[in-house]
Structure 1
């Protein structure tokens, strides 16, 4: 009886505890997944396709591993919630939601996290030197976080050796190593530190400490506070009205001090759009109200209003293109489009193009350059059609090879197919192996295991 109870309480995967739970240094879910797969000596891809996805209630594609999509696993969407639930069941570890933004989805927009991995090289080196587990903080994923307060250095996103950008989730590899060349991403070279101006450091200190306070909140508190933000527009309206009364300001004064346009405030109040953390932090800075105050609807404000540091708009990350440089901006957009004249090259999506031009969202370029957006969408559609044509052609050729082998009385194993098509690397591409499985199902062929041995 005791053995039966133990078996019922046992987990499919190791009950790996998350690092920094309910603290400001809590790790991200992508970091946790990478460590979990390493603990089982599995590729992240295999962990998902063989264990996680079969336990989901609905079919899910593997786009969580695409460089621009791996952000979704740390975010607040339905996919994240499903993956968290499955991982909690498989590991028996509770409150894995704290490693994501799931319980902030009424309060935050879905575009607060970076698409690529950023980290503090000195933090990673410190973990290694002190024989601690190397992991990646959820804090480093936020777009507005630019520096590490502890080491007073900028976060980086490129390998020091091959200079390649790092992605949040990779198909294989360990935390702390480069995706491409497996170089260690930590550093002890303090000489190479870029000097950060005091004024900008003070602003970033405000940003980081605000987000850290949010990340410390436990799951139950997050759920309770998040529900209070279902009526988002009314909450923002209440904050604005309180600011106007407390400081005896007009709306134009608030817009000027916070460097936020009147139209933006209107979009928040009407519920058309959620405020970005960057905007909330600016508004909170001038009124001395924290993100935690806003999230818990405890709208305490400072006695006096203060001005924003001038330096924050000079930082490359925060700077916006000059509105008077419309012609120059159009030239840059045309230049990007011309880079992808060949249909065989996939053009960047609108979000990537917007960020390359200095905007955080694609709304602005949609409004300013509708004709260019049509060209971009047309190129994306053409590229997708070409991919579909290539797939259909490949499928037709592969099907012909399989039927030929069957007619000759030969089982169509991978080795036999490779011999027929005279392309030894054909099945190195995972999509080709998926195509083979689809054709076998279509033709009613039962795939054998260990086909290389059976040959």
Structure 2
């Protein structure tokens, strides 16, 4: 009787269950891997920090400090603000940060948010721009479609100056506080200014759009460049073999043979680059910058991805077609310096009371002339324009600070009337520009308000 009762029960498996490893941080999925608009590593850090309800600086300092044990630190953003662009690049800073983040998130694909795959191909100098850039139309479109707001890696490359989808020039200054953002700041947040906290997805006004308008041939070239770089970034996860710098030397040597019958001097003349520079490239002793390489590819109508990954024999070019395209491109690119035109433009600009005034960087961009060339010919006028711009920036900043101080005072009194203590944290959550609490004068305004309230 007892035996029959025991047989009705199932046996228990007392072996330990295999529990998968748990990550220290959220295993946040990167956006757009395998597409031209793949997310940047610095943008991923901002989203990861937002997912944990902390500032990017706090995440870097509290979680990555022990894993990135180097002088540049990545642990203290205040020390590396001007170098955070390298976190998206191909050097040791990007390598160390990728390894640290992959350890914390248990992901194995974060290297594709940087240029680490191309570390042996492109010199790091002038590869990435030192400040944050963005397309306001992309931000606004994503917001309206309720998509995730993020920072594409494409925007951080110095050679990319236009959005390949909206054909707008990338923006470098916040339209609200008129300040530039570092690539990764303490309060970085995708789609928002890290200085004043305002939304950056506003569509450009007609006046600003007219000011930033490009000529047709220049627009076409910049769009082509942006799309070609996007194609290169999109292909990165699918490359089976490690890319070698010898591929560049071999392909260039092949082009010299096809286009100029092996005459490096003639080839250099056609692409408007010094002969010795081209010779060093063909011998593999130096590497061309990404900008130089993309300009050569544009001249010959070959994508940079094909240039780097296909067999050189498959890139046979029509010598007649190439010669025509190169000459056309050079005529477009190498315009003579018209001193009278430039001087007249500068003098009109100096007497114009337009506000806000333009910086010399923007003036040079509108003229299509290198800023150093303009300074060389008209140093006094350039200094006057720069001084006017600097003076405007100082006055504007002073005005904004005064407005912030007044707003802080009003918010402090409002909180006190509600029976709440007006701490800096509480006030910063209610003011329109919390980023300005980094200014000593704004913090002093709060202290004075508290003294008036006998707190």
**How many angstroms does 1:246 deviate by?**
1.8
1:93 equivalenced with 2:136 (yes/no)? no
Number of the residue aligned with 2:97: 83
Aligned-pair CA distance for 1:279: 0.8
Shift of 1:206: 1.9
Q: Secondary structure of 1:80's partner?
A: helix
**Contact 1:70–1:169 (Cα < 8 Å) also in 2:** yes
Q: CA deviation at 1:109?
A: 1.1
**Counterpart of 2:418?**
none
Determine which of 203, 218, 232 is the counterpart of 2:221: 203
In structure 2, the partner of 1:39 is 51
1:316 correspondence with 2:389: no
Q: Once the two structures are superposed, what CA deviation does each residue of 1:129-183 show, in whole Å capped at 9, x if it has no partner?
A: 1111111111111111111121121110101111001111011242111122111
Matched, 1:258 2:302: no
Q: Using CA pairs under 8 Å that are at least 6 residues apart, name the structure with larger relative contact order, 1 or 2.
A: 2
| 2:403 alignment partner in structure 1 | none
Native 8 Å contact 1:284 1:290 kept in 2: yes
- Deviation of 1:123 (Å): 0.4
The CA distance in 2 between the partners of 1:86 and 1:151, in whole Å, is 35
Q: Which residue of 2 aligns with 1:188?
A: 203
Is 1:132–2:126 an aligned residue pair?
no
Give the whole-Å Cα distance in 2 for the aligned partners of 1:42 and 1:63.
Answer: 15
Tell me if the contact between 2:250 and 2:282 (Cα under 8 Å) persists in the aligned partners.
Answer: no
Please name the residue that 1:72 is paired with: 86
8 Å CA contact 1:27, 1:138 repeated in 2:
yes
Does structure 1 residue 178 correspond to structure 2 residue 190?
no
Give TM-score, length-normalised by structure 1. Answer: 0.65
Tell me the CA shift for residue 63 of structure 1: 6.0
Indicate if the aligned counterparts of 1:313 and 1:319 stay in contact, CA closer than 8 A. Answer: no
C-alpha displacement of 1:240? 3.1
Q: Normalising by structure 2, what TM-score?
A: 0.65
Which range moves more in the overlay, 71-80 or 244-253? 244-253
Unaligned runs of 5+ in 1: 337-427, 430-455
Contact 2:117 2:236 in 1 (8 A): no
Cα deviation, residue 197, structure 1: 1.7
Assess, with a 3 A threshold, how the Cα gap between structure 1 residues 190 and 316 changes in structure 2: closer, same or farther.
Answer: closer
For 2:178, what is the secondary structure of its paired residue? Answer: coil
Q: Identify if the C-alpha distance between structure 1 residues 280 and 141 changes in structure 2 by more than 3 Å, giving closer, same or farther.
A: same
Q: Distance in 1 between matches of 2:69 and 2:375?
A: 50
Deviation (angstroms), 1:187: 1.4
- 1:22 equivalent to 2:34? Answer yes
CA contact (8 A) 2:260 2:266 kept: no
Q: Which structure 2 residues correspond to residues 201-280 of structure 1 after superposition, within 5 A?
A: 201-219=219-237, 221=239, 224-226=241-243, 228-229=244-245, 231=246, 235-249=247-261, 250-269=263-282, 271=284, 273-280=286-293
Structure 1 segment 336-351 matched on structure 2, within 5 A:
none
Aligned counterpart, 1:450: none
Runs of 5+ unmatched residues, structure 2: 1-13, 336-363, 387-437, 440-455
Change (3 A) 1:63 1:292: farther
In structure 2, distance between residues paired with 1:33 and 1:3: 36
1-structure distance, mates of 2:282, 2:147: 46
Cα distance, 1:324 vs. partner? Answer: 11
In the TM superposition, 1:100-119 aligns within 5 A as: 100-111=114-125, 112-119=127-134
Which residue of 2 is the match for residue 363 of structure 1? none
Counterpart residue number, 1:290: 303
Contact 1:124/1:134 (<8 A) preserved: yes
1:244 positional shift: 2.7
Which has more radius of gyration? 2
Aligned-partner SS, 2:226: helix
Aligned runs of 1:132-171 on 2, under 5 Å?
132-171=147-186
CA distance in 1, matches of 2:31, 2:271: 36
Q: Distance between the aligned counterparts of 1:40 and 1:217, measured in 2?
A: 31
Q: CA deviation at 1:2?
A: 9.2
- Tell me how large the CA RMSD over aligned residues is: 3.5
- CA shift in 2, pair 1:77/1:180, >3 Å: same
